[in-house]
Structures are given as C-alpha cells and as structure tokens.
Amino acid sequence: MIMLEIYGIKNCSSMKKAFDALDANGLRYTFHDYKKQGIDAETLGVWLENIGPELLVNKKGTTWRKLSPEQQQAALSDTATLIQTLIEQPSIIKRPVLKTDSGFVVGFDADTYAALKG
C-alpha cells in the first residue's frame, strides 16, 4: 500500500483537483494544510534538497510578487533565508506537494496522479 502525504492549502483550486484525483483513484493519503498548521524548517529543507527552489517556489503567485525585489533576491540566494520566507509566507510554496514512497510530485497533473495507483 502506497502511503501518500499531500501538502497545500485546502481551498486552492489545484488542491481540489488533486484531492478529487486521489479519491477517484482510490488512493489513501494524509493532508497537511500549511496555511493552518504551518510548515517547519526541517520539512522545507528536505523539499529544497529533493525538489529544488526552481520547482518549489511559486514565482507567478501574488504573494511572491508582493515581496520586494530585494526580498526575492535574498530568498533565492540563501537557503536559510528562503526557508524563513516560506515559513512566514507559505502561500509562496507551489501546490500541491505530494510525498510518495519514491519521491515528490509538485503541482497537479492528472496523468501523474493516475499513475500512482500502479
């Protein structure tokens, strides 16, 4: 049995698609709402190591664009600063982040989710 953990913000449209796909494929998962529950530095460190900031940081979102150019540059040039920024502004994290037995899936893709049921 595959154990999945999905991270995101409950009322996000991409999250709703991801939940629907997981449910439709009969996949069991746990959900972590980092808007309500927060996200810790250790988890973010693992994500950045495995996923990388290019894929993890949503630079198209409003929250990122509201940061000053100096804040954006500081976050992208220093891992500790980026982790602190993501803790303070979790909306900057792309959604969903799905942890599978074999790694991470960032963002929603119906085919990728369907392939999880093996």
Beta strand 97-100 with 103-106 is antiparallel
63 has catalytic annotation? no
Between CA 10 and CA 111 the distance in angstroms is 21
Within 1-118, where are the H helices? 13-24, 41-50, 53-56, 62-66, 69-77, 79-88, 110-115
Catalytic residue among 3, 6, 8, 12: 12
Q: Which residues are catalytic?
A: 12
